[in-house]
Chain A
Amino acid sequence: MAQKEQSSQSIFTDLDDASTDAEVNKWQRTFRLWRETLREHWGMLTDELSVKLSMLTVAGFVVIAIFAPYIATHQPLVRQYQGDAGVLIDKWVEPSLLGADSEYLLGTTAAGYDIFSQLVYGTRAALMVGIIAAVFTAGIGTLVGLVAGYYGGKVDDALMRLVDFLYGMPLLPTVIVLVAVLGPNLWNIILALIVLQWRSTARVIRSQSLSLRERPFVKAAEVAGASDWHIISRHLAPNVLPMTFLYGSFGIAWAILAEAGVSFIGLGDPNTVSWGTMLQASRAYSALSFGAWWWFVPPGICIGLLVISGFLIGRGYEEITNPKLQ
């Protein structure tokens, strides 16, 4: 500290600035700040019953996804039997759950795959798409939004025109085109979803940081000489975090829906089982007209459950971030 030349008086005169005792670790404090924020949100979030149930549902799916190899009774992509002509339309096995005398809990598909095992492995694909896409959309969106909102001016203009451009592209058709060009692969679907979905997060976070930037506590940090990055990371980011989480949880639901949609159209990854590809197969073999409802109803229910849970969690979170909704 540069001692003042003009006046020797100061409340800190007798402090020995050379000593380094009792320095509180910077990272420790930063870590604690984030931990407290997260804990506070977690507490508010788990207050509501619907949110709790949704979380249980999601947790259940996560457990199923992790232990899929132990839960599944068969290999999901191995034909359980061979027919005469390779592809068997009329030789599916009825589910043992309905009293049929078979070893397949939910029966088999027309092509001879075990439906229950496919369902279990499909959880993996759904959660992977949902979580990876959501983390990246929320992350990229938040970063772009913070930078655009904080710097304003030309940076803001450039980034927001990019967002405008992305808003001009319809979600599903664009994903279909991208996947058709890049190849039907689960990672390409995820990539396509990320490219299109960060736009809404960026918009909202930008508007938040635009208003936060003008708040006196940011001005106070500025007066103290804080760098741009310091202000963004310590003052803006923790305050937009609720919004990031909100868009993240909605993002999970959207990504799962979109993946199912793309797979249903037939652009899914042929080497992975997902609920969307199951639905697509059941449609291709006209399971509906044959009355084989155990083929397409379970994946439909799973998609519905997971998506609804995602939305309910997002909704619960929205009530935290926007008290007017309560």
Chain B
Amino acid sequence: MSGNDVLLEVEDLKKHFKVNQGWIASLMESFGGGGPDYVHAVDGVSFELRQGETLGLAGESGCGKTTTGMSMVKLHEPTAGDIVYDDTRLSEASDAEIKRFRQNAQMIFQDPFESLNPRMTVYDTVAEPLRIHDIRNETARVQRALEFAELLPPEQYFNQYPHELSGGQRQRVAIARALVLDPDFIVADEPVSMLDVSLRAGVLSLLDRMTEEFGLSVVYISHDLSLLRHMCDRLAIMYMGKIVEKGPTDQVIENPQHPYTQALINAVPVPDPSVGRERVELQGEVGDIVDVPTGCRFKDRCPDYIGDVCDQVVPPLEAKTAFEQEVACHLYESAEGYDPYEELEGRPSAAAGDGAESTPADD
């Protein structure tokens, strides 16, 4: 594991999906003005992945964490923003550079029952990436990858079909497939959420070994904070397509600052009835991801809502004065001297009535 070299940089990544309405509706729209609707799955996400680092992406269902992960391995073409791998912008990369990227970026999927082709043997599945990239010494590599994934002896699995394997074994095959190209980083999308609890530990220790022994960078996508805490060096919390809090895992878990992160961490059950925690239960529903609200996206559910500034100014993800992690919230003072109220005053509509609590509450 070598230092803090940045391996991959995600720059203001946006991925919007067009809402499918059929051609009559879109025809009427093109006459009646107004563009089609978009689902803002990922809406301006920036982070970097360092060499040998494990990064966790957490958040509730539909917050865009999987879309972010898929964009990182180029399964989606980003709507805006870019991904920089090894000083190459992927949007401007040549075919050869894309091929090299493909060789170094792999993904592990959530459902091991769906991620293996039912009509291909284990050998064919694991060897497929090697064939695509024309890499020699196929058999030895497949054997090594299966060995690493603790499918022993590997020869015994060569001619088996996925339906002959258990869920845990399938996920190990999927991991072997991801490893066989010797990638630089792997995106693991909920790698154990479909597995029996009894199998999780085994697969997790395998993933752990993968990062520790070979300096692989891994992005874990999960809603399971206790898993992420166990696996990750750094953690980013997402809400409605944006990162709301990002920092070292311990910092984020022990000392969450964004109201959403606090609620999320509060929701993790503690196996001890005597632990009395202050419960922060979120009210309301997740906002409309098609017609995105102005200002902070969390404002309608936020227990610490402080008025107009939340309504009208989008809080940037920035370093704050009071703690280590970066937070996107107006509650805290910016370390870089950014003042959201300047933007608020700049708008004529900001003269709205009550004016109460328009100073940053510091709690």
Tell me which of B104, B119, B120, B174 has the highest count of chain A C-beta atoms within 10 A of its own C-beta. Answer: B119
Across the interface, which residues of B come within 8 angstroms of A9, CB to CB? 213-215
Across the interface, which residues of B come within 8 angstroms of A15, CB to CB? 137, 140-141, 144
How long is the Cα–Cα vector from A202 to B246 in the complex, in angstroms? Answer: 49
Contact with A along B113-139 (1 / 0, CB 8 A): 011111111011001110111011111
How long is the Cα–Cα vector from A21 to B215 in the complex, in angstroms? Answer: 29
Across the interface, which residues of A come within 8 angstroms of B157, CB to CB? none
How long is the Cα–Cα vector from A52 to B304 in the complex, in angstroms? Answer: 72
Across the interface, which residues of A come within 8 angstroms of B99, CB to CB? 225
**B114 near A17: Cβ-Cβ < 8 Å:** no
| Nearest CB of A to B126, in Å | 11
Across the interface, which residues of A come within 8 angstroms of B21, CB to CB? none
Closest to A22 in B: B139
B12 within 8 A of A: no
Closest to B109 in A: A216
How long is the Cα–Cα vector from A9 to B1 in the complex, in angstroms? Answer: 9
| Nearest CB of A to B51, in Å | 6
Beyond A11-B179, A12-B144, A216-B110, is A235–B137 a contact (Cβ under 8 Å)?
no
B267 within 8 A of A: no
Partner of B102, one of A16, A225, A239: A225
B233 within 8 A of A: no
B261 within 8 A of A: no
CB-CB contacts below 8 Å: A208-230 with B: 215-217, 219-227, 230
A4 within 8 A of B: yes
**A226 near B105: Cβ-Cβ < 8 Å:** no
How many residues in B have their beta carbons less than 8 Å from beta carbons of A?
A: 57
How long is the Cα–Cα vector from A238 to B124 in the complex, in angstroms? Answer: 14
In the complex, the number of residue pairs spanning A and B with C-beta atoms less than 8 Å apart equals 128
| Nearest CB of B to A123, in Å | 36
**B129 near A224: Cβ-Cβ < 8 Å:** yes
Across the interface, which residues of A come within 8 angstroms of B52, CB to CB? 7
Beyond A6-B5, A11-B148, is A217–B117 a contact (Cβ under 8 Å)?
yes
Closest to A5 in B: B86
**A17 near B137: Cβ-Cβ < 8 Å:** yes
How many residues in A have their beta carbons less than 8 Å from beta carbons of B?
A: 40
How long is the Cα–Cα vector from A23 to B182 in the complex, in angstroms? Answer: 19
A39 within 8 A of B: no
| Nearest CB of B to A160, in Å | 12
**B137 near A16: Cβ-Cβ < 8 Å:** yes
**A23 near B51: Cβ-Cβ < 8 Å:** no
Beyond A33-B120, A225-B99, is A11–B132 a contact (Cβ under 8 Å)?
no
Closest to A9 in B: B214
B106 within 8 A of A: yes
B75 within 8 A of A: yes
Partner of A1, one of B115, B135, B215: B135
B100 within 8 A of A: yes
Across the interface, which residues of B come within 8 angstroms of A224, CB to CB? 102, 106, 128-129, 132-133, 177, 181
**A24 near B138: Cβ-Cβ < 8 Å:** yes
How long is the Cα–Cα vector from A10 to B135 in the complex, in angstroms? Answer: 15
B283 within 8 A of A: no
Contact with B along A191-213 (1 / 0, CB 8 A): 00000000000000000000000
How long is the Cα–Cα vector from A223 to B174 in the complex, in angstroms? Answer: 13
Contact with B along A1-35 (1 / 0, CB 8 A): 11010110111100111111111101001000100
CB-CB contacts below 8 Å: B215-237 with A: 215
Across the interface, which residues of B come within 8 angstroms of A223, CB to CB? 73-75, 102, 105-107
Across the interface, which residues of A come within 8 angstroms of B179, CB to CB? 11
Partner of A225, one of B51, B103, B184: B103
CB-CB nearest 5 A-B residue pairs = A225-B102, A224-B129, A216-B115, A216-B109, A7-B215
Instruction: Show 26 A/B contacts (Cβ-Cβ < 8 Å), sorted by A.
Output: A1-B182, A4-B104, A4-B182, A6-B7, A6-B51, A7-B52, A7-B215, A10-B214, A11-B179, A11-B214, A15-B137, A16-B137, A23-B136, A24-B123, A29-B124, A216-B114, A219-B109, A221-B128, A223-B75, A223-B106, A224-B102, A225-B129, A227-B132, A234-B120, A238-B120, A239-B117
B binding-site residues for A, Cβ under 8 Å? 1-2, 5, 7, 51-52, 70, 73-75, 98-100, 102-107, 109-111, 114-121, 123-124, 127-129, 131-133, 135-141, 144-145, 148, 174, 177, 179, 181-182, 184, 213-215
A binding-site residues for B, Cβ under 8 Å? 1-2, 4, 6-7, 9-12, 15-24, 26, 29, 33, 37, 215-217, 219-227, 230, 234-235, 238-239
